[in-house]
């Protein structure tokens, strides 16, 4: 029971931080988009996706790999071995991050030519130092998560995003007269935020260092600690499949970027229109649809050390329970988000971006990708915890392979244009998620709770969709105000979803413990005999 409570608590901390970070990230993109427009968003996103790719190559697998290695040592009381993993990983990560930062800086012009976006040169230069900063921070986060302490990671993520949001908007505003410099100013906030997050988590480490050192000194177990060479080899062995899988999904963004530029040009679109359409795809569709997925990312990250420790102890019943809780929570939040965004796509964009409200068709067509992306991420996290990190990498590659020909054909059709990239993204994530869950069932013999994770949320979401649509129409008829009508429709729809889920007993105690304000919801449902 103690282990279960600890898992729930740590997962809830990361989940809450993940939601807050994603909301902050979403909120600052709203004024940023209203300042730099769809064209500026296209320039911003092209440089940012280059940065993301290098970031993935340098550090994407490190927190997961380090947390897994550390949690396995901690679970058997080998504190000295765990701390040596941390120190070795810190050096390795710094060197890799520095190399990637230099590569991104000195080859910025060539990268712009490859992706077909020469306007993104300054955004790439501005983002290059951030790679090394984040690589070092990833080691500290992985170490703390491996020790079953998600609080330092959660707080550093929030601090990072606050600084990112403030300075991105401020610097974009300072250079607002030049769209190239303004987009680069928006990306500069990313580096400032990362530096703030690193300073905070290093400060926490030095606060805890005396107790960490004390545990290391008192570790008198008779075992041989691995050499730095062995630790590095194990780290790379664990990280490479994770990096590969994440890099493949990151490459889908690069594929979209290059193919949107080339195929729209082939269809006769001018460069400013291409930048604007790409800005709608990345600054609106991607920004809005990835917001609900933050919960699945947080749960997947939190569940990994617990699953790794459970596998090490052969506590497979407990592992199976954690898998189903993570899956159920992910779907309870992702399914209504997907359907709600699909129903109110145009209205949401008009509310958020009154000066640049185009692109609603992307949300209407592509909102279903939220479900598949969430499924893919949660399955990837679980498979990594089971030591099957190479499986989601292969499945991601299959998904990306399906995306390329669809992009090539669909984007060049003028009537479809960037909607083709959305359709191919749905196919990519759907294929990866189906393959991941097939592998999960084979690897862990897990029996997914299809009724609780799919049927009940889907049923409640249909009622919610009807409530959103009708309430918006009614309120707009009465007020003739889109923002007021949209907000009321969203709130009313969420209320209907909650009521229907409660009536069909769609919530379980374990699910609510992972959700923000879950304790209050649990007490309400219990008082009405609905739990």
The helix/strand/coil state of 268 is coil
Both 512 and 392 in one domain: the answer is no
Both 462 and 402 in one domain: the answer is no
Both 89 and 209 in one domain: the answer is yes
Given 426, 448, 470, the domain boundary residue is 448
What radius of gyration do the chain's Cα atoms show? Answer: 23
Residue 155 lies in a domain: yes
Residue 312: its pLDDT value, please? 66
Scanning the structure block, which residue is given the tokens 């898998």?
323
Residue 354 lies in a domain: yes
Tokens of 324: 């189903």
Give me the count of residues in the chain: 531
Q: Residue 1 above 50 pLDDT?
A: no
Burial class (CB in 10 A: 0-12, 13-18, 19+), 358: middle
Closest to 243 (Cα-Cα) out of 255, 235, 233, 231 = 235
- Going by the DSSP 8-state scheme, the letter that residue 119 receives in this structure is G
Closest to 59 (Cα-Cα) out of 129, 111, 124, 137 = 137
Q: d(Cα 454, Cα 466) in Å, to the nearest integer?
A: 19
Report for 50-59, 252-261, 318-327, 481-490: range of highest mean pLDDT? 481-490
Scanning the structure block, which residue is given the tokens 């009521």?
499
For the chain, give the percent of residues with pLDDT over 70.
90
Both 363 and 511 in one domain: the answer is no
Tens-place pLDDT, residues 350-407: 999 888 888 899 999 999 999 998 888 888 877 876 778 778 888 888 988 898 899 9
Residue 453 lies in a domain: no
Contact in structure between 531 and 342 (CB atoms under 8 Å): no
Both 390 and 514 in one domain: the answer is no
- Going by the DSSP 8-state scheme, the letter that residue 178 receives in this structure is S
Both 360 and 437 in one domain: the answer is yes
Given 400, 426, 448, the domain boundary residue is 448
- The structural domain count of the chain equals 2
Neighbours of 1 (CB within 10 A): 5
Both 337 and 473 in one domain: the answer is no
Instruction: Report the chain's mean pLDDT, rounded to a whole number.
Output: 85
Closest to 337 (Cα-Cα) out of 379, 376, 378, 368 = 368
Both 182 and 298 in one domain: the answer is yes
DSSP element (H, E) containing 486: helix 482-503
Give alpha helix (H) positions in 355-481: 360-366, 369-385, 390-411, 419-444, 450, 456-479
pTM of the entire predicted model: 0.76
Q: d(Cα 267, Cα 420) in Å, to the nearest integer?
A: 13
Range of the domain at 203: 2-448
Given 392, 419, 448, the domain boundary residue is 448
Both 316 and 168 in one domain: the answer is yes
Both 432 and 463 in one domain: the answer is no
Both 407 and 516 in one domain: the answer is no
Closest to 408 (Cα-Cα) out of 235, 231, 248, 262 = 262
Both 441 and 470 in one domain: the answer is no
Q: Residue 4 above 50 pLDDT?
A: no
Q: d(Cα 301, Cα 144) in Å, to the nearest integer?
A: 12
């Amino acid at each position: 029971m103690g282990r279960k409570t600890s898992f729930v608590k740590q997962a809830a901390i990361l989940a809450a931080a993940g939601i807050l970070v994603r909301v902050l990230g979403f909120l600052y993109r709203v004024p940023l988009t209203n300042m730099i427009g769809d064209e500026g968003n296209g320039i911003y996103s092209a440089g940012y996706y280059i940065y993301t790719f290098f970031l993935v190559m340098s550090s994407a697998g490190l927190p997961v790999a380090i947390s897994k290695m550390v949690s396995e040592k901690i679970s058997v009381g080998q504190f000295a071995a765990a701390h040596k993993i941390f120190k070795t990983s810190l050096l390795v990560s710094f060197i890799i991050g520095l190399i990637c930062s230099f590569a991104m800086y000195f080859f910025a012009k060539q990268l712009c030519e490859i992706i077909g976006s020469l306007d993104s040169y300054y955004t790439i230069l501005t983002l290059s130092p951030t790679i090394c900063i984040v690589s070092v921070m990833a080691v500290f986060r992985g170490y703390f998560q491996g020790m079953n302490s998600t609080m330092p990671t959660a707080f550093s993520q929030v601090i990072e995003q606050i600084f990112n949001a403030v300075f991105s908007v401020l610097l974009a505003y300072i250079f607002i007269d030049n769209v190239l410099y303004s987009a680069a100013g928006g990306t500069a906030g990313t580096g400032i935020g990362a530096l703030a997050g690193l300073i905070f988590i290093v400060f926490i480490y030095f606060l805890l260092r005396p107790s960490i050192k004390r545990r290391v000194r008192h570790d008198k177990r008779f075992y041989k600690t691995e050499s730095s060479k062995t630790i590095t080899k194990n780290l790379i062995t664990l990280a490479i499949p994770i990096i590969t899988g994440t890099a493949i999904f990151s490459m889908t963004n690069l594929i979209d970027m290059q193919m949107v530029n080339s195929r729209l040009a082939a269809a006769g679109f001018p460069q400013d229109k291409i930048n604007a359409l790409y800005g709608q795809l990345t600054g609106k569709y991607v920004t809005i649809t990835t917001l609900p997925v933050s919960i699945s990312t947080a749960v997947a990250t939190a569940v990994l050390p617990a699953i790794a420790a459970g596998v090490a102890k052969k506590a497979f019943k407990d592992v199976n329970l954690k898998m189903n809780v993570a899956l159920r929570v992910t779907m309870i939040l992702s399914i209504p988000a997907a359907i709600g965004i699909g129903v109110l796509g145009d209205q949401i964009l008009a509310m958020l971006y009154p000066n640049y409200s185009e692109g609603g068709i992307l949300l209407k067509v592509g909102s279903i990708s939220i479900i598949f992306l969430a499924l893919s991420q949660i399955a990837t996290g679980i498979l990594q915890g089971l030591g099957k990190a190479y499986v989601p990498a292969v499945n991601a590659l299959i998904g990306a392979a399906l995306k390329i020909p669809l992009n090539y054909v669909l984007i060049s059709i003028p009537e479809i244009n960037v909607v083709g990239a959305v359709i191919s993204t749905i196919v990519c994530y759907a294929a990866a998620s189906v393959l991941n869950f097939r592998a999960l069932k084979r690897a862990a013999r897990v029996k997914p709770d299809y009724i609780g994770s799919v049927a009940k949320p889907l049923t409640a979401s249909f009622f919610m969709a009807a409530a959103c649509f009708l309430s918006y129409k009614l309120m707009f008829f009465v007020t003739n105000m889109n923002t007021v009508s949209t907000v009321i429709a969203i709130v009313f729809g969420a209320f209907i979803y909650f009521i229907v889920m409660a009536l069909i007993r769609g919530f379980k105690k374990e699910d609510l413990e992972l959700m923000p304000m879950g304790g209050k919801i649990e007490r309400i449902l219990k008082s009405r005999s609905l739990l």
